[in-house]
Amino acid sequence: MASAYFIFVFLASIGLYQIVTIPARLKGLWFFNQPWLQYIFGILTILGAYGWFFTSKGRNLQSTVEGAQQLGLFLGAIVASYFVTAILSSIIQAGTNAQDDSPQEHKQQDLGMEALKTKTLFESIAARLKKGKEEKV
């Protein structure tokens, strides 16, 4: 039951991340370039997770998942789904966001989550490391 709950929250979180990144314009976390595909993928992932979890056999068996354990599983699943989303979107978008170094690239807004509006996680990390090397020299 614990692993099923983890997978359920993990899949639903991936779908939710795909939906909430559209109004936030965090294109670095998108799996698809079209927002309507993002919505469809997100909704289908959430519905699939709920459908699988609540219709699976043996669902009403006595469970040994306690409240603290359930909280740990929930938090672990949403953190894991964020990292999987960031890694998958970086792999999917590899090479498609080829941007030249412009003066705008080194603004303060390019730190943290704001960087994901124009770059993937891997691109943001690489730009940050490059900037760190330039400052040391």
H or E element in which residue 102 lies = none
Mean local confidence (pLDDT), 76-81: 96
Tell me the C-alpha distance between 45 and 63, whole Å: 25
The separation between CA 17 and the C-alpha centre of its own chain, rounded to angstroms, equals 5
Tell me the C-alpha distance between 87 and 107, whole Å: 24
pLDDT digits (tens, 9 = 90+) for 79-90: 999 999 989 988
- Residue at token pair 């595909």: 37
pLDDT digits (tens, 9 = 90+) for 99-132: 544 445 555 556 667 777 777 777 777 777 777 6
Percentage of the residues of the chain whose pLDDT score is greater than 70: 77
pLDDT of residue 72: 92
pLDDT digits (tens, 9 = 90+) for 12-31: 999 999 999 898 888 888 89
pLDDT of residue 110: 62
pTM of the predicted model as reported, rounded to 2 decimal places? 0.77
Q: Where are the domains of the chain?
A: 2-136
